[in-house]
Amino acid sequence: MRISTRGEYGVRAMLDLALHSAEEPVPLSAIAARQDISEHYLEQLISALRKAGLVVSFRGAQGGYQLAKPPEEITISEIIRTLEGPIAPMHCVEGAHADCHHVELCATRMLWQKLQASMEEVLSKTTLAWLKDEAKKILATAAIQR
Amino acid sequence: MRISTRGEYGVRAMLDLALHSAEEPVPLSAIAARQDISEHYLEQLISALRKAGLVVSFRGAQGGYQLAKPPEEITISEIIRTLEGPIAPMHCVEGAHADCHHVELCATRMLWQKLQASMEEVLSKTTLAWLKDEAKKILATAAIQR
DNA sequence: ACAATTCCGACCAAATTCCTCGGAATTGGT
DNA sequence: ACCAATTCCGAGGAATTTGGTCGGAATTGT
């Protein structure tokens, strides 16, 4: 019942872009260093995010990555879905499956649907912009305390 | 982001008990046959459920399993937790961990906390009794249509 | 030309999942 | 007293997933 490192790193990388790529593209190495993630591994993840249209890339020197849309329009749901697959606690609620063989199984399916809906609710309603704001707040209070 | 077969089978087995073990204990073989689950594998799962105090067992001939409490008092949350471990989408929201090293990481932690809370909400508020009722409803409408 | 960078596909070790197997212990029925 | 039905226990193991690594080709600003 865990989100794997793909989703975890992906969200952190996207937040990193939200915080640092407003002006110029950010090279992978910078994200990897700040977030303490293996560069090669992160490359795989960001490649998927690019193909999903969540980031844009610029090749060559001074190249790097930027968010493809304003952070208000990028939801965590999108990020998780591209990196972890469908947000479904059970295969029977993944897409248009209706292959319930047992009666009891169908009853449990309703349970998994409720669970899925509540997860999707949270993930689709929180955006990168929200995360960015939270991160800035934390940074601000940390600065005061120092 | 999936619940594994441990959780899936566990919930189905518990529902099976809720439906069939009111009078006499139900042998493992009966549950396994009805639910189409490997008997040996199910044995492991139900052993964990017994140790967690969710089912009681009777050894020897005519033995089997029964729910340890009325189905109103057994939540899906309990079942999932005993079979899958803590309901936490991320290790950082599992118990009293506060090991956020990066500022950004702490912001994402709030996200995972929200997600965890919404999952726990659903799983702790739906009981075996609810599942049992749903299963009976489905069974009833299926009987009419036949 | 060169250095910085993305892009791509193959490969691989460790962990986890999903079981299987064999047998010991217990208990009701005859 | 025996037997059949059943739970209980621990070891083992194949398949899948996870979490990477590696090497090099392609692109582009300076």
Q: Which nucleotide is nearest to B38 (CA to C1')?
A: C19
Residue-wise pLDDT for A9-64, tens only, equals: 999 999 999 999 999 999 999 999 999 999 999 999 999 999 999 999 999 999 99
Q: What is the pLDDT of residue B29?
A: 98
- Neighbouring-strand partners of residue B65: B26, B57
Given a cut of 90, whether residue B133 has pLDDT beyond it is yes
Where residue B43 sits, what CATH number does that domain have? 1.10.10.10
Q: What is the pLDDT of residue B106?
A: 86
pTM of the model: 0.94
Q: What is the pLDDT of residue A25?
A: 98
The shortest C-alpha distance from B71 to chain A (Å) reads 15
Distance B28 CA to C27 C1' (A): 16
Per the structure, the complete domain to which residue A85 belongs is given by 5-145
The shortest C-alpha distance from A57 to chain B (Å) reads 22
CA angle, residues A125, A129, A132, in degrees to nearest 5? 125
The tokens for A42 are: 């992160």
Q: Which nucleotide is nearest to B59 (CA to C1')?
A: D7
CA–CA dist A21, A38 (Å, integer)? 20
Q: How many domains does chain A have?
A: 1
Residue A82 contacts residue A55 (beta carbons within 8 Å): no
Residue-wise pLDDT for A89-131, tens only, equals: 998 898 766 566 677 778 999 999 999 999 999 999 999 999 9
Q: What is the pLDDT of residue A145?
A: 86
Nearest of B15, B11, B16, B48 to residue B29 by alpha carbon: B16
Evaluate if the CB of B20 falls below 7 Å from strand D.
no
Given a cut of 70, whether residue B132 has pLDDT beyond it is yes
Where do we find the tokens 């036949």?
Answer: B146
Distance A37 CA to D21 C1' (A): 13
Q: Both ends of chain B: CA-CA distance in Å?
A: 38
Q: What is the pLDDT of residue A99?
A: 64
Strands B55-58, B64-67: pairing kind: antiparallel
Nearest of B52, B99, B104 to residue B78 by alpha carbon: B52
Given a cut of 90, whether residue B146 has pLDDT beyond it is no
Residue-wise pLDDT for B68-105, tens only, equals: 999 999 999 999 999 999 999 998 898 766 566 677 77
Name the residues in B106-135 having a C-beta closer than 7 Å to nucleic acid strand D.
Answer: none
